Each structure stands twice: as structure tokens, then as C-alpha cells.
Amino acid sequence: MSEIRVDLLHNQHVLIAPKRLHRPDFYQQERKISKKDCPFCEGHENMTPPEIFAIRDNGANDIHWKTRVVPNLYKAVQVEQSEGSKRDGLFEQINGVGAHEVLIDSPFHDKDLSLFDATFIELWLKTLIKRIEDLKNDKRLIYISIFKNFGQNSGATQEHPHTQLLALPLMPRSELDFLQKNLKYYKKHGRGKLQDIIENEKKSGERIIDENDDFVAYCPYASSFAFEVIIAPKRNISSLNYCRCEEVTSLSQMLESVFSKLHKQLGKFDYNLYFRLAPLNTNFENESFASSIEKNFRFNIRIIPRIYRIGGFELSSNMAINPVAPEKSAHLLREG
């Protein structure tokens, strides 16, 4: 069974998840998995747990699907587990309650999201929205992490492109810290941090990559990685599932544009992608932020190309070394 432990020294939570030890790591084994052995490929639906959700025109767990969501076979947390906690001397441990799901982005084994057109990306986004809305119904779940690892340098352990959703019964300390600082900024300025950052970036123009009616894409002023990109809405939308239909379409087009620009500069590249979203539900940890979050919080998507590896300094200091200035990255992406 999974446990969530509190690191007293570093003031953060750690997931102890024994099942993750047994997940396949095809990159470490330095071999390619063939389509006939891939559990995520169309026709291999019996190789995964029964699906939770799919965009399809036929019955569940059959072929002819466009996107498909299944429980993670090597889950870090279990939705079936009961709530509870205990002390071990100085230390605290919470039962590993939560949801860990895999969204299989498409039936195509060799086609990553970064090569999709806006129509396919929109199906991917609509699938994520459905899962956020469903997981929100479980009031035990407070925080959701949605992320993609693609390629060896990203930490991916499956070649077939996929996205993971991990919902927890608590807020990570870093997220609570972010909400606290954002609220403090809002109380002082009447605006959220990201709102002002976007206005500043648009005024400067140096780091803007692209924008449309609803979204803007830019390289952050203090980018931790070369060619790092953030995509954010132009209005305050606290979570992906609160986007209007036309905004989902607009976001799909923006993602297609950004990935196209990255491919022109980097070719095929490894990357991490993640969403920063408002809490799924309110509990004692985040209730002080709940009343104003719709006014000061904007969800965003961070795309991090992994074109080099980080080392000891970054890990020990929690400080990044970026060899390409964001102004240079933005210029190349914008003009390329």
C-alpha cells in the first residue's frame, strides 16, 4: 500500500509507492518495444485495466477509440484505499489515498502530441476536462497533477505517448506556498501574479512567442530550461475544466503552434509538460484561498524541452543553470 510521508527536514511530502518499482523502463533497457507488445496500442485493450473513459463510437474496451483513460497499472496512490494517518515518533504518515490514471493520447504508437494537429489536441484536452470533472466529485481529492513525460531525458518509461493524472488528498507544500504568495500579491495589487506577468510580457514583446484571442505563449523571464514555454489564458480561468468551448479550441490551436515552433528549432526533442491548476476541492489547508481564487489564479501549461541533463548543482541548490537566455529562445521560436 502507498503512503504519503512528511519530510520534516525539507518541509515537503514524499510518496512511498512500492508498485512503482515494478513498472517497465524500456529506455533503461536500451531497447524499443514493438507495437505488437505495446499495451497502449489499438487492439491491445485487454493488456490494460478496464478503461475509465474513452472518446469512441463503440463499446468500452474495444478498438476504434480516439483517446482512452485507464488506471495506472503501477499506481502511486489508490482510490480504493481508506483515509487515515498515524505518527511514528517525530514523523507523520498518511494513507496513500488518491487516483492515478493514464490517458493514452491516441492509438498511434509513433506519433506524439507534439506532432498532432489542433483537432487531435482538442480531443486530448476534452478528455482531460472530463477526468478533472469526474475526479472533482470525490471530495477526498484536493490536488491534481496532470503531466506528460516524453523521451528518455524526461523520465518516460513507456514509448507510446501518454499523459498521467495523479490526484491527492492534500496540497503539496510548494503549491500551498504558491497560493499563499499569489494571494498576498492580490491583496496588495488587486491582481494575480500571472495576470501582471502576462501584461508585462505583452508590453515588452521580447519573450512572447505567439498569442491568439484567448491565450498567450511566452518564454519566462527566469526560464529554468532552454526553450521553456508557458501558455496561459488572457482572462482569469482557474482550471482547464472552466474553459468555454471556444477557448478549448483556441488552446488546441495554441499548443499546435507552439509545438510546431519548437520542432523547427529543436527537431524531435524530449520534454516534460505539466498543468498548474487550482485545487480540485477545498479542505482546511486551502480554504483561506478559496474565496478569491477565481479572481487571482490563472491555470497555465509549462512545456520544458529536455535537451540536456541536470546535475549535482541543480539538485543540491534547487537552482537552475540555463545556457540559452529566454529572449534568445523566444526570438528563435518567434522568427523560426
| pLDDT > 50? residue 27 | no
Q: How are strands ordered across the β-sheet holding 215-218?
A: 53-56, 65-71, 99-104, 162-168, 143-150, 271-276, 300-305, 229-233, 215-218, 208-211
Q: How far apart are CA 237 and CA 242, in angstroms?
A: 6
- 64 Cβ contact partners less than 8 Å away, ≥ 6 residues apart: 42, 56, 57, 58
Q: Which amino acid is at 76?
A: A
Q: How far is CA 157 from the centre of its chain?
A: 16
**Most confident listed range (54-63, 74-83, 304-313):** 54-63
- The pTM of the full predicted model, rounded to 2 decimals, is 0.91
The pLDDT, as a whole number, for residue 230 is 97
Q: How far apart are CA 143 and CA 282, in angstroms?
A: 9
Domain 3-335, CATH number (from 1.20.1300.10, 3.40.718.10, 3.30.428.10, 3.40.50.620):
3.30.428.10
User: Are 127 and 163 in contact, with CB atoms under 8 Å apart?
Assistant: no
| More confidently predicted of 89 and 128 | 128
- Any idea where the domains of the chain sit in the sequence? 3-335
pLDDT band at 279 (very low <50, low <70, confident <90, very high): very high
The pLDDT, as a whole number, for residue 171 is 93
Output the average pLDDT for the chain. 90
CB atoms within 10 A of CB 199: 13
Q: What is the arithmetic mean of pLDDT over 98-115?
A: 93
149 grid coordinates? 513525460
238 grid coordinates? 482557474
Three-state helix/strand/coil letters over the chain: CCEEEEECCCCEEEEECHHHHHCCCCCCCCCCCCHHHCCCCCCCHHHCCCCCEEEECCCCCCCCEEEEEEECCCCCCECCCCCCEEEECCEEEEECECEEEEEECCCCCCCCHHHCCHHHHHHHHHHHHHHHHHHHCCCCCCEEEEEEEECHHHCCCCCCCEEEEEEECCCCHHHHHHHHHHHHHHHHHCCCHHHHHHHHHHHHCCCEEEECCCEEEECCCCCCCCCCEEEEECCCCCCHHHCCHHHHHHHHHHHHHHHHHHHHHHCCCCEEEEEECCCCCCCCCCHHHHCCHHHHCCCEEEEEECCCCCCHHHHHHCCCCCCCCHHHHHHHHHHC
Q: How far apart are CA 60 and CA 137, in angstroms?
A: 22
182 φ/ψ sector (left φ>0, alpha ψ -120 to 50, else beta): alpha
pLDDT band at 110 (very low <50, low <70, confident <90, very high): confident
Q: How are strands ordered across the β-sheet holding 3-7?
A: 12-16, 3-7, 91-95, 85-88
pLDDT band at 35 (very low <50, low <70, confident <90, very high): confident
- Percent of the chain, pLDDT > 70? 93
> Distances from the Cα of 334 to the Cαs of 206, 223, 229, 257, in angstroms?
10, 16, 12, 10
- Percent of the chain, pLDDT > 90? 71
Say which range, 92-96, 217-221, 268-272, 332-336, has the weakest mean pLDDT: 92-96
CB atoms within 10 A of CB 189: 12
The pLDDT, as a whole number, for residue 25 is 57
| pLDDT > 70? residue 226 | yes
**Most confident listed range (12-21, 88-97, 295-304, 311-320):** 295-304
